[in-house]
Structure 1
Amino acid sequence: VYAKTLLSLMMRHRHPQGKFLIIGGGIANFTDVAATFTGLIQALNQFADDIKEHNIRIWIRRAGPNYLEGLRKVKACSDKLGLGLKVYGPETHITAVVPMALGLTAPLPEPDLSAACGPPKRSLVKVPDGVQVKPAAAKAPAQGDITPATTAVVYGLQHRAVQGMLDFDFMCKRKKPSVEAMVFPFSGNHLEKFYWGTGEILVPVYTTTQEAIAKHPSVTVFINFASFRSVFETSLEAMQYPAIKTVAIIAEGVPEQQTREIIKVAEDKKIDIIGPATVGGIKPGCLRIGNTGGMLDNIVMSRLYRPGSVAYVSKSGGMSNELNNIICRNSDGVYEGVAIGGDRYPGSRFLDHFLRYQADPGAKLLLLLGEVGGTDEYDLIEAAK
């Protein structure tokens, strides 16, 4: 319906030079790109003659789960109808289609959609002659608690997210799964089966956080998938246990007053908060929080299964995937990445993570992706001075 409405509005008035429809977006974490193109393909079939008559040129740049299948389908539809669509994937920068569509830059060759997505082409940036590169991070002991041995408790029966974390663990060659237990208060204690590579493992599910922490004392990360209605109580409960050092709050719409109370408790107990309204974070070779990094094909493409040297912080989880893509094409890869969330009062600030990265000798280059609104970026500038 959305695609049909948009095309019908574009054809309401004719323009002598034609019109452009640019369809783009960041690399999705869990949105099925092929499924989202179903409505677009139906609209193209319905309005094909009108699109030609109004000289509407369509450019697409999309990536994420099943993006190759989606691009193949929409390209096949275009070829059948003679619409001349231009389609690009993550090999093209997210904004590159705009100047190409408007004729400001020469169009790049379209990707080979018949081939499987392979490793990205590298385009390393050379340092100009005479430019002095500052030394890497100070040789101080790392403050972070995330290691290849770090384990987590997941609140909520999130099978897809947990399976994604376990697949990431296996790909990183972790010795044991990062998810030790799950908490789901609406059923009795039981075991849930997940894949570990080609084998299977059983993850215990408990009705209370207290029992989960008591039976798994080595857990240091609490990943909270509770809704905004109950995330306040469940997060405060998790922070009561001294073993918990990091809490990730995925839910959106958490009341600001509750968020501020969570932040106050976390500061008093020296607990790191990621979120609310976040996809989480990722440390290649160590831990992936929930759906961070997208599907496995994107993990492989962005080389998130082994650590690089670039540590970044962003607000948006979707734009984090774009950063992963850009970093892997212009450096040796991601060392760690965190999306702090887009709410007014994030549990941690840009500066908090940059100070942590600065003290970590593994982080050689620090990268920030800010957004419109807020002043946290200015705090970071002052700290850098």
Structure 2
Amino acid sequence: MAVGIIAEYNPFHKGHKYHIDSTIKATCEDIVAIISGNFVQRGEPALFKKHIRTKMALLNGVSMVLELPVEYATGSADVFSFGAVNILNESRIIDKLSFGSENGETAIFENIARILNNEPTLFKKHLKENLNLGMSYPLARNSALESYIGKKLSFMNKPNNILALEYIRQLQKLNSNIKPFTIERIISDYNSNNLSGEISSASAIRTAILNNDYSALNSIPNNCKEFFNNINPPLIDNFSQILSYILRTKNPKDISEYADITEGLENRIINTNFNTITELIENIKTKRYTYSKLQKAILHILLGIKKNDQIKNPEYIRVLGFRKDKKYILSEMVKKSNIPVIIGIKENEELLKKEIISTDIYNIPLGIDKGEEYKNGVIVI
């Protein structure tokens, strides 16, 4: 059996290395990571393509890397978790799920997950009262939890903890045999844009690199630094003309079918003039439509991801890479998995259609011809 890790590695840094090493030390098991593809949960293109991030992970202790399909990888925390946890569960080779959290324990997450999954009457009463007061749903839910449990849950505002909670909710819903296992984070602010020595957040590293501040490499393992030579990732605004074309060929009803398009948002998007995606989001954001939610919604239009795509169970497990000396893990998964394990592309084109298209779209600003998915095989180190 192996330990699962759900990640983006955007980019891979020393905090990720610490998490992997600590998990191996505590469990003495192999690590199977499932990572986002070329677009990530923030609703933007990844800093590095998935095959590069796969290499980074394999060079730093991960035994095998799987791909989280794009429809889940770009979704909200519950969608992201739904896809990733289901795939790990269906693989039938994972007995633990390791994740980082601010407090280093799982009991409180398991308790909150049970409340949210079962929705006791008193909790629902508090939630309804908060919504009637005009609170946003996340704020109303957190406040209702605090009222129900009887103590403050300020740590639940942290993105990593929100994801940890969703992982455990999914494990409980599936009645999975996978046990949650947490490693206490050694940086406190997941979304901090400030570098902080050897251990910095992925957000801070991305911000620095995109501003040509290569002091961020202090936070990157030595065996990954070469990947930063001549880095030139696409930015979300590089896709503005493509989005403009798509919107001109669709009517509001068409747009309403895409994931994260809710409550008439399709009309605001279609009726707003813009030169860049950033400008569009700034012009239509409100308290109800946050920047983060809008960026995801826009990306789903761009990639053609519809609401129905995010609620269906994963149909396959795709292997992005593995270590030569750990090939037995792949063999075990092929034998035990409840859903098909995909290694080749050509014989699985229909299942991988969204990945093929999303990679082609990622490559448009880079001037790379379509069909890259067919050229990058499974990474073996």
Shorter-chain TM-score bucket reads: under 0.3
Higher strand content, 1 or 2:
1
Higher RCO by CA contacts (8 Å cutoff, separation 6 or greater): 2
Query: How does the TM-score come out when normalised to structure 2?
Result: 0.27
Higher helix content, 1 or 2:
2
Asked which structure has the greater CA Rg, the reply is: 1
